[in-house]
Structure 1
Amino acid sequence: MSIEKIYDYFRSYDKETYQVFACGDDTPSEQDIEAFESEFNIKLPEDFKEFTMSPLGGLYMEVREEIWPMAQEYEVAPFWEFCRGIMVYGISSEVPEYLDLRANTRAFHESGLSDCIPFFSVIGDGEQIFCFDREGKIVVFDGYEMHDVEGDFESFLLGQIAELEERKDKKVEKLKNRAGR
């Protein structure tokens, strides 16, 4: 397994458009990953482990405020307009709690959903939580039930980034049209 396409994307992403941070040099070791798998009785997919142990692990990516302003309190808009970023949870010792795979897994399990590990969310979408099931397959919890998601971690993440870029382009176009009135 390799996450080379993810590395390629982040070598040349638009830094003027996206605010991105990750664990950087504070990457977890193989022993950290093994301890996580042992604690939660799960085997993580190899490409996710590679990602988590890379400087990209614990990833937060959001469209910059000056390009896509955050919604104001009580603002009404189509749902997609609130989804301005993505988060991939990580195991780094320095990762903030909202990106911590361990903290998110414990909270998810405490809610009664103990058969999977939450690893990804879309910022602004409090309904869908993307997880790995016990076999390492990607599933999404929609607030009621689990649904299978096709593909491996690398294709999933690149697809989510592409969707974020589409939403950003749609929002920028909407803002231009509004300003041109």
Structure 2
Amino acid sequence: MNDKTMEILEKYLDKDFRVSPMAPNKSTMSGIDKMQKDLGIQLPEEYIAHLLGGGSEVLGERGLYIEVKEDVWPRPKQYDVGPFWSFLYGIHTFTASKESEDWMRLDAAGKDFLEETGIKAVPILRIIGDADVYCVNEAGKIARYNHEENILEEMEMDFWELFDRELKALRERKEKKIKELNK
């Protein structure tokens, strides 16, 4: 499967965004296979392509932290209030690299998710500021975790469609935030 990460990033991101890889590219298919076995989850092929990175020298390991730069979208302060969307200034995907911080690692996030929710699934994409997270369930399907009901809601899309949709939404929120700040 071809990695479409760069193609999708280039479609939506501009100078107002910062993209940070989370670890050096040391993921291997055998390491991903072991992690899947340990967690009892089968990741979709397109997510595995994202994890392996397609050899991008720019991004290295795929566990990406994508945010609107703070000078464009100032970070909320404690006790700030506003519409929900105004706190959602970035997204991140999780990584298979053991060299990444636990909060970004698929294996650690998967174990934590199971302990906290009782649901066997692995987080793959998070919108910063949102308590819900996109996961892969036991059947290898992408689902959105609804934290209020503690359930997974299966989605009829692959990882590329999800990544594209969420980057587009992030760009739209950025444009809305810029308009709001310039009033």
Q: Write the mapping of 1:1-181 to structure 2, written as runs, cut at 5 A.
A: 1-4=1-4, 6-11=5-10, 14=13, 16-23=15-22, 25-54=24-53, 55=60, 57-126=62-131, 128-143=132-147, 144=149, 145-177=151-183
Residue 171 of structure 2 aligns to which amino acid in structure 1? E
Relative contact order, higher structure (CA 8 A, sep 6+): 2
Residue 38 of structure 2 aligns to which amino acid in structure 1? E
Instruction: Determine what percentage of the aligned residue pairs are the same residue.
Output: 27
Cα deviation for residue 157 of structure 1 reads: 0.5
CA offset digits 1:26-71 (Å, max 9, x no partner): 2300111011011011211111011011135111000000000001
Whether the 8 Å CA contact 1:23–1:59 is kept in 2: the answer is: yes
- CA distance, structure 1, for counterparts of residue 85 and residue 11 of structure 2: 25
SS at match of 1:169: helix
Whether the 8 Å CA contact 1:22–1:60 is kept in 2: the answer is: yes
Unaligned runs of 5+ in 1: none
What do you get for the CA RMSD once the two structures are aligned? 1.7
CA offset digits 1:68-113 (Å, max 9, x no partner): 0001111110010000000101111222222111111111111243
Cα deviation for residue 132 of structure 1 reads: 0.6
SS at match of 1:107: helix
Unaligned runs of 5+ in 2: 54-59
SS at match of 1:35: helix
TM-score, normalising length: structure 2: 0.88
Whether the 8 Å CA contact 1:27–1:57 is kept in 2: the answer is: no
- CA distance, structure 1, for counterparts of residue 139 and residue 103 of structure 2: 25
- CA distance, structure 2, for counterparts of residue 65 and residue 29 of structure 1: 34
Whether the 8 Å CA contact 2:62–2:95 is kept in 1: the answer is: yes
TM-score, normalising length: structure 1: 0.89
Residue 68 of structure 2 aligns to which amino acid in structure 1? V
Residue 162 of structure 2 aligns to which amino acid in structure 1? F
Residue 134 of structure 1 aligns to which amino acid in structure 2? E
Whether the 8 Å CA contact 1:26–1:93 is kept in 2: the answer is: no
